[in-house]
Copies of this chain bind each other. A is one copy, B any other.
Amino acid sequence: MGFTAIAVLVALLQYFFFGLQVGRARGKYGVDAPAISGHPEFERYFRVHMNTLEQLVMMVPSAFVFAHFVGDSWAAIAVAVFVVGRFIYFRSYVADPASRGLGFALTALPTLVMVIGSLIAIARVLIAGGTLA
């Protein structure tokens, strides 16, 4: 699980960095807690952080299950694509929310590959009459 763990931890640090940007945007655009709206620029940083949270909830468990049933290196590569995709998402969303498609696809896709890939791998073990550890 080592390489997957490294990649997931890097994704979590990236998410922490996005959270810091939200805090910075609170000060810059004068949006005090508990408000989460009030300035369109602030809302972009807020949504990047929130959407990354939404994606991580699906990506992190999928990565460890995929590492277990398919392979540590393959899971680590998928998570690396996720991290690059999220960086593109951050850059493009802050510039123009309408341009967020590519970055979104580059994070949703590796996660879906890991979810579907894990289900197939587990099904093949079961069909072959094997036992799941």
Contact = CB atoms under 8 A, between A and B. Distances in A.
Interface string A1-29: 11101101100110110010000000000
Interface residues of A, number: 52
The 4 A-B residue pairs whose C-beta atoms are closest, nearest first, are: A2-B132, A34-B43, A34-B47, A33-B97
A119 interface: yes
Contact of A54 (B6, B19, B61, B132): B19
Copies in the complex: 3
B115 A5 contact: no
B46 A34 contact: yes
Nearest to A72: B132
Contacts of A3: 132
Contact of A5 (B16, B33, B118, B131): B118
A57 B125 CA distance: 28
A56 interface: yes
Given A34-B44, A57-B56, A112-B16, A126 B2 contact: yes
23 contacts: A1-B68, A1-B133, A2-B126, A2-B131, A5-B65, A5-B118, A5-B122, A9-B62, A9-B65, A9-B115, A13-B115, A15-B57, A16-B58, A16-B112, A19-B54, A33-B93, A34-B43, A34-B47, A34-B93, A34-B97, A35-B43, A37-B37, A57-B60
